[in-house]
């Protein structure tokens, strides 16, 4: 254990691949995100749409988990989940959340903060219907975040639902759907040498975005 702690303390990486300057950053952070996301895709980053979602309970206790971004536009950033899960309950109590994308291959992070709203039923249906049948059945099978007795419970429920919905036409359960995060701030982080990283913060001021540099 001591060897492991010593190893952790000696881990060092000096970031030096790219830079980020205010004059090079697009005035619209969603456009800037799109540029960086495309570069992550082109660089073959493993699951570039993986992101950490942090929520806060009604008691003020934070929790985080990795999800997958499924769409983004000027309207916001979209993901899908079980509305009755722990995250769903926390979002109902407090819709203020944070997203974090980390692309280590490019030495980049993007932090997004804002409020979540539920996606329309029609849009959730559209995405749900594009999913593989197995994923559709999975959404029905799992009472996400609830305690279950064993793996067997899941397997038996999946089999029952597979028999109930034998074809591809599996309806979307009411407890499952999309959320849209409408960003209030977005921060772009580019690793630089000597821990003097570039941090560019966009803050939504209604009709425009304020752009500022933060100390690393």
Per-chain mean pLDDT for the chain = 95
Q: What percent of the chain has pLDDT over 70?
A: 98
Q: Tell whether 189 is covered by a domain.
A: yes
Its pTM stands at: 0.91
**pLDDT tens digits for range 68-83:** 999 999 999 999 999 9
Is the per-residue pLDDT at 5 higher than 70? Answer: yes
- Known catalytic residue: 151? no
Q: In whole angstroms, how far apart are CA 195 and each of 44, 81, 161, 169?
A: 25, 36, 53, 53
Over residues 172-179, mean pLDDT:
98
Is the per-residue pLDDT at 135 higher than 90? Answer: yes
Q: Which domain holds residue 32?
A: 15-131+174-213
Q: Tell whether 8 is covered by a domain.
A: no
In the numeric block, the tokens 């000597």 are attached to: 194
Size of the chain, expressed as the number of residues it contains: 216
The residue that leads in pLDDT, 165 or 3, is 165
Q: Tell whether 161 is covered by a domain.
A: no
Helices (H), 55-168: 86-93, 121-130, 133-141, 151-164
Two structure tokens written together for 130:
């594009």
Predicted pLDDT of residue 6? 79
Domain count, the chain: 1
Predicted pLDDT of residue 8? 77
| CATH code of residue 62 | 2.30.110.10
Predicted pLDDT of residue 24? 87
Over residues 71-99, mean pLDDT:
97
d(CA 164, CA 80): 24
Over residues 84-101, mean pLDDT:
97
Task: Count Cβ neighbours within 10 Å for each residue of 112-127 and write b for 16 or more, e otherwise.
Answer: bbbebebbeeeebeeb
**pLDDT tens digits for range 181-212:** 999 999 999 999 999 999 999 999 988 999 99
Q: Tell whether 146 is covered by a domain.
A: no
Q: Tell whether 53 is covered by a domain.
A: yes
Q: Are the C-beta atoms of 187 and 201 separated by less than 8 Å?
A: yes
Q: Tell whether 6 is covered by a domain.
A: no
Q: What percent of the chain has pLDDT over 90?
A: 88
Over residues 110-138, mean pLDDT:
97
Q: Tell whether 124 is covered by a domain.
A: yes
Predicted pLDDT of residue 15? 66
Pick the catalytic residue from 86, 108, 111, 195.
195
**pLDDT tens digits for range 25-43:** 999 999 999 999 999 999 9
Q: Tell whether 62 is covered by a domain.
A: yes
């Amino acid at each position: 254990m001591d060897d492991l702690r010593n190893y952790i303390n000696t881990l060092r990486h000096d970031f030096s691949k790219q830079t980020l300057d205010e004059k090079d950053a697009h005035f619209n952070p969603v456009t800037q995100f799109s540029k960086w996301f495309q570069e992550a895709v082109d660089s073959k980053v493993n699951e570039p749409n993986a992101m950490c979602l942090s929520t806060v309970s009604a008691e003020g206790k934070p929790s985080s988990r990795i999800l997958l971004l499924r769409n983004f536009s000027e309207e916001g950033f979209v993901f899908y989940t079980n509305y009755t899960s722990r995250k769903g309950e926390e979002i109902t109590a407090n819709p203020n959340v944070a997203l974090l994308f980390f692309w280590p291959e490019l030495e980049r992070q993007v932090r997004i903060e804002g409020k979540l709203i539920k996606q329309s039923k029609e849009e959730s249906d559209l995405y749900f219907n594009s999913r593989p049948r197995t994923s559709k059945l999975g959404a029905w099978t799992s009472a996400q975040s609830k305690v279950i007795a064993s793996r067997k419970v899941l397997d038996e429920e999946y089999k029952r639902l597979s028999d109930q919905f034998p074809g591809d036409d599996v309806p979307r359960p009411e407890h499952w759907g999309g959320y849209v995060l409408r960003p209030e701030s977005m921060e772009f982080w580019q690793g630089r040498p000597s821990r003097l990283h570039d941090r560019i913060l966009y803050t939504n001021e209604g009709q425009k975005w304020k752009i500022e540099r933060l100390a690393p």
